[in-house]
Amino acid sequence: MTIREFKYFPFSLNLKTPFQTSSQIITERNGFIISISDELGSSAYGECSPLPGFSYESINDVERILKGLRYQIIGFSLEENLTAISNLISEFKLVPSIVFALEQAIVSLCAKRNKNFIVEFFGDTNSIIEMNAVIGFDKTDNILTRIEEKVKNGFCTFKLKVGRNNFEDDFNLIKSVREKFGESIKIRLDANGKWNSETVNANLEKLSQFNVQYIEEPCGDLGTLNNLSVTADIPIAIDESISSIEDATKIINNSKIEFIVLKPMVLNGIISSLKLIKDAERKEKNIVISSSFESAVGRSALVLLASATNHSFAHGLDTSEYFERDICKDPYEVKEGKIKFDIENYPPQFDLSRL
């Protein structure tokens, strides 16, 4: 395959309501859609949208790099396999969000050229992918109402943001959720590293009565997280403490942490994330794919990755409803708390005429 054309287009998506975590408030998502074409005239898309507060690069960094990349990549030829794709992209020393976009676009082109490409390199894929519903900070009554709405829509796994200034507010919220819904739903917690090493043990002990599936980043110290994975009654998940592929590999190989939450847009793209999925599988650990509030274009690649995991735990891709309007129709709508994935129809078609 030879790359004959490279283009990119900016986009901006407003959230219906601000999404608040313990560390920031997200009101909009800005990024770029890249388009590449091969010598046969086929085209495919990828998304690069760094997430403020999580990504190292800014949107201005991305635009500057894309301007230069446009002139460098045209004319490159590569074999149609993941190693060749990874080797090509590594030559340009790109930031993670652009790696994600370029890998998405090239993998999609390869899938168009060879209908067996996805099966050959991604392995057996799940046709049904369960989603967790993310519930941000709000008043308890509003949160309970939100969960009730989601339950009616088929969701059974909920990730609740914790890490309020007063831990008792977190405790009372989880207690209220369990009192209202009993064991009919699965609860995950995400503290975004808010608790410190002096308080985290006591907090987890108090919350252990609520049958929590796992807690994500209860504190920001990696050493403490490793210790908690051995001593705590609640399984530990890691997310933003992973700053590189090397970090994730060490966690998989050398710790007792059971759940690794990956944001491929932030970490380093699709191919390295797939390798981590396979590494975790061999160590009997679980990779959970999480959205960085991508558009429908970028999220489609996350659905592919989620389909490649070999477990039935829910993934964190239910974010499209947060946007006032997406850049195109979502090919992987969440219905009854699940996404249906058809490997035969990957990559999906996108109508990007709005751009």
Question: Does 34 map to a domain?
Answer: yes
In degrees, rounded to 5, the angle at the alpha carbon of residue 27 between the alpha carbons of residues 248 and 130 is: 50
Together in a domain, 104 and 131: no
> What is residue 208's three-state secondary structure?
helix
Q: How many other C-beta atoms are found inside a 10 Å radius of the C-beta of residue 15?
A: 16
Calpha distance 240→352 (Å, rounded): 32
Q: DSSP for 61-107?
A: HHHHHHHHHHHHHTT-B--SSHHHHHHHHHTT---HHHHHHHHHHHH
CATH number at residue 337: 3.20.20.120
Question: Does 76 map to a domain?
Answer: yes
Together in a domain, 288 and 189: yes
Together in a domain, 129 and 109: no
Q: DSSP for 140-197?
A: HHHHHHHHHHHHHTT--EEEEE---SSHHHHHHHHHHHHHHHTTSSEEEEE-TTBB-T
- Give the domain-ending residue among 117, 152, 182: 117
Question: Does 350 map to a domain?
Answer: no
For residue 271, give the nearest of 91, 122, 129 by alpha carbon.
Answer: 122
CATH number at residue 98: 3.30.390.10
Together in a domain, 62 and 49: yes
Together in a domain, 104 and 141: no
Q: Which residue has the tokens 């168009």?
A: 112
Interhelix angle 96-113/270-282, rounded to 10 degrees, is 90
Residue 34 structural domain:
3-117
Q: How far is CA 99 from CA 73, 93, 138, 273, 325, in A?
A: 13, 9, 35, 12, 26
- Give the domain-ending residue among 88, 117, 146: 117
Question: Does 353 map to a domain?
Answer: no
Together in a domain, 224 and 189: yes
Largest CA distance in the chain: 61
Together in a domain, 193 and 143: yes
Question: Does 234 map to a domain?
Answer: yes
Together in a domain, 108 and 158: no
Question: Does 354 map to a domain?
Answer: no
Together in a domain, 157 and 264: yes
Query: What's the pTM?
Result: 0.94
From first to last of its 355 residues, what are the pLDDT tens digits of the chain? 999 999 999 999 999 878 765 567 888 999 999 999 999 999 999 999 999 888 889 999 999 999 999 889 999 999 999 999 999 999 999 999 999 999 999 999 999 999 899 999 998 899 999 999 999 889 999 999 999 999 999 999 999 999 999 999 999 999 999 999 999 999 999 998 999 988 999 999 999 999 999 999 999 888 999 999 999 999 999 998 888 889 899 999 999 999 999 999 999 899 999 999 999 999 999 999 999 999 999 999 999 999 999 999 999 999 888 899 999 999 999 999 999 999 999 999 999 987 7
Provide the number of structural domains found in the chain.
Answer: 2
Calpha distance 57→263 (Å, rounded): 14
Together in a domain, 178 and 104: no
Question: Does 352 map to a domain?
Answer: no
CB of 290 closer than 8 Å to CB of 239: yes
- Give the domain-ending residue among 94, 117, 140: 117
Residue 41 CA, chain-centre distance (Å), reads 31
Together in a domain, 141 and 212: yes
Question: Does 212 map to a domain?
Answer: yes
Together in a domain, 204 and 291: yes
